[in-house]
Amino acid sequence: MQLVILGGGKGSRLKAVTGDLPKPLVPVLGTPLLGRQIHQAAQSGYVDEVVVLTGYGADSIAAYVKEADFGIPVRCIAEPVARGTAGAVLAAIDNLQSEFLVMYADTVHDIDLGRFVSFHSAQGADASLFLHPNDHPADSDLVETDEAGRITCFHSYPHPEGVIFPNLVNAALYVLRRDALLGLSNLPEKPDFAKHVFPAMLQAGRRLVGYRSPEYIKDAGTPDRLAKVAKDILSGMVSHRSLRNPSPAVFLDRDGVLNVYAGYVDTPEKLVLLPGAGQAVRKLNRSFFRTVVVTNQPVLARGEVSPDMLRLIHARLDTELGREGAYLDALYFCPHHPDKGFPGEVASLKKVCDCRKPEAGMLMHASRELGIALERSWMIGDTTSDIEMARRAGLRSILVKTGLGGRDGKYDAPPDFVADDIAAAIEIIFQEAPDLANRDAACASSCVGEM
């Protein structure tokens, strides 16, 4: 597949550190941003040609590309007039293949591109957008998808007060089908993908899908961010979060661990975070563990909560965590329930499954999807089902005293540890696995003198 890199940026916000250097050539730890991206693309084995769309500093970028040896063909196309990010792609459309990847030259990431491209192909989409949760969703452009992952709408920052949205941020990395970009109406002179092109595609009935991933991707467009991404590369966090590399996770139960146990949560308002839970998850996000919720939601099978309502409830969870700078890498739920006889029940979900805790199906699913190393992972729960599931899958477990505090008494499953709450549980995990605990500390010891 062809990779299109948008390299027209001037990098004015980086002037203080890099002078007049065009943004794609700004070095991070000695390698220009653009060079890093092309190397990664070449290594992925999925990219057979790179097209760099240039504007400011076109000659020096062309000279850099000519001199470097990336092992795959790289072409630069200079646009005489700045036309906006999507405008540059539309202007170069005759040089583009029927499907291509698009990324911005100022982003730093280590994304499994092959996985993303395969997803796009399997979906038969007109556009696939790389979406991820971040620690500041309230001031980010958010995307909403339906149950099947099809994008339904875009919410641009700023968001109205009091609304709840899932923490799904458009990271500006796309796979696009060329023909789907043709003939879009009402585009401004300098169109932007997120603001103009994608909404126009939705309106034209095109199929846009969201690709959810917990992988690292950040723009390095300001001196602060440039320093931050350098630190994250050095600490190992950028590669650690890649789906190419197996990574341990801390699995969390929902009710009674993250939020107040209040019988069944059947409206968003009933989901209230436990004191300290947001900050605990934030700490976990800053470690080398992935953060994954696994929850039984038999309310779906019993017809007490609709799939749409459950999405809203989880949007509220995302919003409440986001307020504290915390996020979930993923959330898995089991919608099934084995016993029949409830009024309004959903017959298709009334069954014995392999995902309802204490069965370990959700852990296995997460392990496959997110490349999780289960043998290094942990489960934090408030019921014996949580602990029994961890035992069956070979995870270490911590029972918290919040929520049911193990008083459900269904299984004779002794946990590895008992903790007062999720914050105390995470401290135990960090003590037991100090090398995975804190990537800032990991950096502090290895980054001295290298910034």
In whole angstroms, how close is the CB of 362 to Zn ion at the nearest point?
8
d(CA 53, CA 86): 11
| Contact stretch for Zn ion (CB under 5 A) within 139-147, 152-160, 161-169, 349-357 | 349-357
In whole angstroms, how close is the CB of 315 to Zn ion at the nearest point?
22
Q: Which is nearer to Zn ion, 176 or 334 (CB)?
A: 334
d(CA 117, CA 177): 12
In whole angstroms, how close is the CB of 56 to Zn ion at the nearest point?
54
| Contact stretch for Zn ion (CB under 5 A) within 30-38, 176-184, 304-312, 355-363 | 355-363
| Contact stretch for Zn ion (CB under 5 A) within 83-91, 114-122, 351-359, 375-383 | 351-359
Q: Which is nearer to Zn ion, 190 or 311 (CB)?
A: 311
Q: How many C-beta atoms surround the C-beta of residue 340 within 10 A?
A: 11
Q: Which is nearer to Zn ion, 334 or 443 (CB)?
A: 334
Q: Which is nearer to Zn ion, 151 or 265 (CB)?
A: 265
Q: Which is nearer to Zn ion, 364 or 418 (CB)?
A: 364
Whether residue 18 contacts residue 87, with contact meaning beta carbons closer than 8 Å, is answered with no
Should residue 355 be labelled a site residue for Zn ion when binding is judged by CB under 5 A? Answer: yes
Enumerate residues 6+ apart whose C-beta is below 8 A from 386: 253, 357, 358, 379, 380, 397, 399
In whole angstroms, how close is the CB of 333 to Zn ion at the nearest point?
8
Cα four-point dihedral sign 59, 64, 66, 72 = negative
Should residue 422 be labelled a site residue for Zn ion when binding is judged by CB under 5 A? Answer: no
Characterize the bridge pairing of strands 208-212 and 127-132. Answer: parallel
Is position 420 annotated as part of the catalytic site?
Answer: no
Which residue has 């037991």 as its token pair?
432
Q: Map 176-201 to HEC letters.
A: EEHHHHCCCCCCCCCCCHHHHHHHHH
**Cis check: omega of the bond before 158, within 30 degrees of 0:** yes
d(CA 13, CA 293): 38
| Contact stretch for Zn ion (CB under 5 A) within 140-148, 242-250, 306-314, 327-335 | 327-335
Burial of 392: CB neighbours in 10 Å, binned 0-12, 13-18, 19+: middle
In whole angstroms, how close is the CB of 5 to Zn ion at the nearest point?
42
d(CA 172, CA 221): 14
Candidates 83, 302, 337, 356; binder of Zn ion (CB under 5 A) is 356
Should residue 353 be labelled a site residue for Zn ion when binding is judged by CB under 5 A? Answer: yes
Q: Which string of DSSP letters, residue by residue, matches 204-257?
A: TT--EEEEE----EEE--SHHHHHHHHHHHHHTHHHHTSTTS-B-EEEE-SBTT
With CB under 5 A, what is the number of residues at the site for Zn ion? Answer: 5
Should residue 310 be labelled a site residue for Zn ion when binding is judged by CB under 5 A? Answer: no
User: Given 106, 219, 253, 329, which residue is catalytic?
Assistant: 253
First to last CA, the chain: 35
Q: Which is nearer to Zn ion, 89 or 362 (CB)?
A: 362
In whole angstroms, how close is the CB of 360 to Zn ion at the nearest point?
11
Q: Which is nearer to Zn ion, 24 or 298 (CB)?
A: 298
Return the closest-CA partner of residue 260 out of 214, 317, 310. 317
Question: For the range 423-432, what are the long-range contacts, defined as Cβ-Cβ under 8 Å and sequence gap of 24 or more?
Answer: 423/276, 423/277, 423/279, 423/280, 423/283, 424/400, 425/280, 425/380, 425/398, 425/400, 426/250, 426/280, 426/283, 426/284, 426/380, 428/398, 429/250, 429/289, 429/378, 429/398, 430/283, 430/287, 432/396
Q: Which is nearer to Zn ion, 219 or 345 (CB)?
A: 345
Is position 232 annotated as part of the catalytic site?
Answer: no
- Residues 328-347, one symbol each (x = binds Zn ion by CB under 5 A, - = not), give ------x-x-----------
| Contact stretch for Zn ion (CB under 5 A) within 47-55, 326-334, 337-345, 390-398 | 326-334
Should residue 220 be labelled a site residue for Zn ion when binding is judged by CB under 5 A? Answer: no
Q: Which is nearer to Zn ion, 302 or 336 (CB)?
A: 336
In whole angstroms, how close is the CB of 336 to Zn ion at the nearest point?
3
In whole angstroms, how close is the CB of 358 to Zn ion at the nearest point?
12
Whether residue 46 contacts residue 61, with contact meaning beta carbons closer than 8 Å, is answered with no
Site residues for Zn ion, window 245-274 (CB under 5 A)?
Answer: none
- Residues 361-390, one symbol each (x = binds Zn ion by CB under 5 A, - = not), give ------------------------------
Whether residue 296 contacts residue 334, with contact meaning beta carbons closer than 8 Å, is answered with yes
In whole angstroms, how close is the CB of 339 to Zn ion at the nearest point?
13
Whether residue 110 contacts residue 236, with contact meaning beta carbons closer than 8 Å, is answered with no
User: Given 106, 255, 329, 386, which residue is catalytic?
Assistant: 255
Residues making contact with Zn ion (CB under 5 A): 334, 336, 353, 355-356
Q: Which residues are known catalytic residues?
A: 253, 255
